[in-house]
A and B are shown apart, each in its own frame.
Chain A
Amino acid sequence: MVSAASALLLARFQFAFTVGVHIVFPAFSIGLAAYLAVLEGLWLKTDKQVYLDLYRYWIKIFSVVFGMGVVSGLVMSYEFGTNWSVFSQKAGPITGVLLSYEVMTAFFLEAGFLGVMLFGMNKVGRGLHFAATCCVSVGTLISMTWILASNSWMQTPAGYSIDPATGRFMPESWLAIIFNPSFPYRLVHMGMAAFLSVAFIIGGTAAWHMMRDKRKGQPISQPVKVMFSMAMWMATIVAPLQILAGDAHGLNTLKHQPVKIAALEGDWETESRAPEILFGIPNMKTEHTDYAIKLPFAGSLILTHSLDGKVPGMKDFPADQRPPSPIIFFTFRIMIALGMLMAATGFLSLYMRWRGRLFTSPLLHRLALVMAPSGFLALLCGWVTTEVGRQPWTVYGLLRTADSVSPIMLPSMAISMTAFVVVYVIVFGTGIGILLRMLSRQPEEGEHDLSEQGTASVLGTRSHPETVLSSPDHGAR
């Protein structure tokens, strides 16, 4: 029994770890592919060199990010079967089919046109190349749609029946399955999260280059200015919209998964005119949130949009159906705080833009640099909140996590966990190092195309002949 419990725990850690690493790259690809499509579109329309420069700069980042997304995603498509075989057996008729649709409508589209997008500018002409970029971008969005349909179905299952003989989920209505109650909210929230995450990476990169230029007394280059301005428009417009979308998503969760809301708010008793706990430490054993700092009425106001609205408490639900409040109480608050800071950055940039100091304000540049990873941090905190908040179920209210895991022996699980941690640290550590070095190089006016440049220029040491030809046995050829 001890070994089974440890195997379950390890399987859960492994899933959290592998999916946590994975999600960053598709989100990056979703945002960046859309940005690249916009840049190329603007270039075709205006014929301004700066848009082409930016396109060529960011596509190099995209090629690395996309590759890491593919390989970390490959892990996921097999992990369901190796570690969660009972879940796959029972839910596969629904989630497996949705995943297959994702592969057929999205993965192939992305991979099929990625080659043309990366290396084909000189082979297919501008129009077709733009079409390829758009196909890749649309592919990332389709991919997100399917995987969120699948994930949302696990949160708010609909359109199924359960086969009494085998306990399998049988699809009854595919429309109801795909457009399950939480799907539209999750789709909008995640889509905007991906765009915002990338906008803040782009804004932070631009801010860093502007600060460095200023220190060196150099003028700020046109591509840096343009990408900073675009990123800050995104923050100004999308960050507030994201707060509204998050609020709507919260109301939807309150309706369908009230105990998740109770747990992430740290509320134990059901009450109307409920306060909002700003800080505290929920204790699952004593059923109390310790050291709570409360804001009167705010809980009801935020969650129900009315002062005396009823807010659920965890005590309304059996102890074995409550998600671990101490985790999601904090991840939820970190996400909210980051969301507010992102909106604040957007407003500050709007003010500075109005005062004509968008490219000169040290305060704004410092803030944008610090906020560079904020989108991804918020996105990960949001995912932890919604996924841990689904516990103790894999299919909400129907299939328990403890009943979903494979009958795999502890040693296999321990070996794979160790292997994933070691490999991911090496591979994705190197990858992030490479990305940071690429970002630390300024986009230049007259940026080279991925298909025509020497290796060295990707990293900034522009075409020194000795670097390119430094292969030890080069002369022997």
Chain B
Amino acid sequence: MSGAAYWLPVIWTVILAAAILIYVILDGFDLGIGMLFAVERDRGRRDVMVNTVAPVWDGNETWMILGGATLYGVFPGAYSTLLPALYLPILLMVLALIFRGVAFEFRIMTRDSGRSALWDLAFFGGSAIAAFCQGAILGGVIQGVSVTKGAFNGGPLDWLTPFSILCGLSVMCGYALLGACWLVWRTTGVLEASCRFWARRLAIGLFLGIIAVSLWTPMLHEPYLVRWTDWPNILFVAPVPLLVILLAFLFVRGLQREHPVTPFLCALGWFFLCFTGLGISIFPYMVPPSLTLWDVSSPPSSQAFQLVGTAILLPIILTYTIYSYRVFRGKVTEADAYH
């Protein structure tokens, strides 16, 4: 394989991974807040929860569209096999995100007609189902997809296994944790205290989930196991689990000493490490266990053209995203309701 044909897909894999990670970082707490509606019944406090993300959620969700579009333009071979293989969880996720997305406005706008509670339920249910589906989709990709001649040839329920369900539940737990930590940072009083309470419990759930998924993943395919156990690979991969444990200590200490941001950063760190671990396992496969990133990539002319734009635009996008977050920084209280 010549230079560009080899390197372009590698560069793009890094960009795609970064886009997905940014999505998880930004929309994870966003979905988590929706799930935390289950433990917060007070309307005023629910409004505060929603208001901490109302100005930014559209942007957060755009990273998911970027992921889809990048897969479509740069890795059409993966886009056209993974999406049919994961048809039902993707469908369910998209429908859940629709309910959740419109609930931001609808739960306020329907207050005088008495259907507001239903849209609160839609906000909770949509967030929970979307989070579960994202985990299940991830699990479905890791466990592999049946492919012949570059096209998916399995059944509609192939993705549904104990492993993918475990991944779905872990991601639900993890997003709820991110949501709780975000609210610890961005709110005050009763809400802040209750989120600190829930953060501790959710962290235990996520920690158990991480351990289970980490032990299970290498058993799925031979190459995954080799990646984690072969000498000298082990030297490079060992820091990942060690850092997970280190972050757990920092997390507990941050909660106890009531640091505002530390728990949130630790939770994000866990997601980053899990994501790195996942990358270590499946690289260079884009559609495990058969198609590598080179098998599924579009012609170099497509990748190069898109790379030019991305190199210019992504830093600009990040700049104004940070600006937008800065405009709405600080604690949100019931006094400054956006609606």
- What residues of chain A have their CB less than 8 Å away from a CB belonging to chain B? 63-64, 66-68, 70-75, 77-78, 80-82, 85-86, 88-90, 92-105, 107-116, 118-120, 123-124, 163, 168, 170-172, 174, 406-409, 411-412, 415-416, 419-420, 423, 427, 430-431, 434, 437-438, 450-451, 453-456, 458-459, 461, 467, 471, 473-474, 476-477
Q: Is there contact, CB below 8 Å, between A115 and B328?
A: yes
Instruction: Report the minimal beta-carbon distance from B49 to chain A, rounded to whole angstroms.
Output: 14
Q: A107-B65, A112-B321 are in contact. List 10 more A-B contacts (CB 8 A).
A: A66-B58, A77-B65, A81-B83, A82-B87, A100-B74, A100-B309, A115-B55, A451-B338, A461-B112, A471-B44
Residue of B nearest to A435 (CB): B109
Q: Is there contact, CB below 8 Å, between B112 and A75?
A: no
Residue of A nearest to B319 (CB): A112
Q: Is there contact, CB below 8 Å, between A171 and B305?
A: yes
Instruction: Name the one of A78, A111, A115 contacting B327, with C-beta atoms under 8 angstroms.
Output: A115
Q: Is there contact, CB below 8 Å, between B43 and A119?
A: no
Residue of B nearest to A84 (CB): B80
Instruction: Report the minimal beta-carbon distance from B171 to chain A, rounded to whole angstroms.
Output: 18
Q: Is there contact, CB below 8 Å, between A99 and B321?
A: no
Q: Is there contact, CB below 8 Å, between A434 and B106?
A: yes
Q: Is there contact, CB below 8 Å, between B58 and A111?
A: yes
User: B206-234 interface mask toward A, CB cutoff 8 Å, 1 = contact, 0 = none?
Assistant: 00000000000000000000000000000
Residue of A nearest to B53 (CB): A115
* A406 surroundings in chain B (CB, below 8 A): 80, 84
- 29 interchain pairs, CB-CB under 8 A: A70-B101, A71-B102, A74-B65, A78-B68, A78-B94, A95-B73, A96-B73, A97-B298, A97-B302, A103-B66, A105-B313, A107-B65, A108-B66, A108-B313, A108-B317, A111-B61, A112-B323, A171-B301, A408-B87, A409-B156, A412-B88, A415-B88, A453-B339, A454-B337, A459-B111, A459-B112, A467-B111, A471-B42, A474-B44
The docked-state distance in angstroms from the alpha carbon of A66 to that of B59 is 12
Instruction: Report the minimal beta-carbon distance from B40 to chain A, rounded to whole angstroms.
Output: 11
* B61 surroundings in chain A (CB, below 8 A): 70, 74, 111
* A interface majority secondary structure: helix
Instruction: Report the minimal beta-carbon distance from B176 to chain A, rounded to whole angstroms.
Output: 22
What 8 A-B pairs come out closest when comparing CB atoms?
Answer: A92-B76, A115-B55, A96-B73, A81-B83, A96-B72, A85-B80, A111-B58, A471-B43
Instruction: Name the one of A66, A99, A108, A115 contacting B73, with C-beta atoms under 8 angstroms.
Output: A99
* B310 surroundings in chain A (CB, below 8 A): 100, 104
**B33 contacts A by Cβ under 8 Å:** no
Q: Report the count of interface residues on B (CB-CB < 8 A).
A: 76
Question: Given A89-B80, A171-B301, A450-B338, are A120 and B327 neighbors across the interface (CB < 8 Å)?
Answer: yes
Residue of B nearest to A68 (CB): B102
Instruction: Report the minimal beta-carbon distance from A397 to chain B, rounded to whole angstroms.
Output: 21
Instruction: Report the minimal beta-carbon distance from A421 to chain B, rounded to whole angstroms.
Output: 11
**B90 contacts A by Cβ under 8 Å:** yes
* B102 surroundings in chain A (CB, below 8 A): 67-68, 71, 427, 430-431
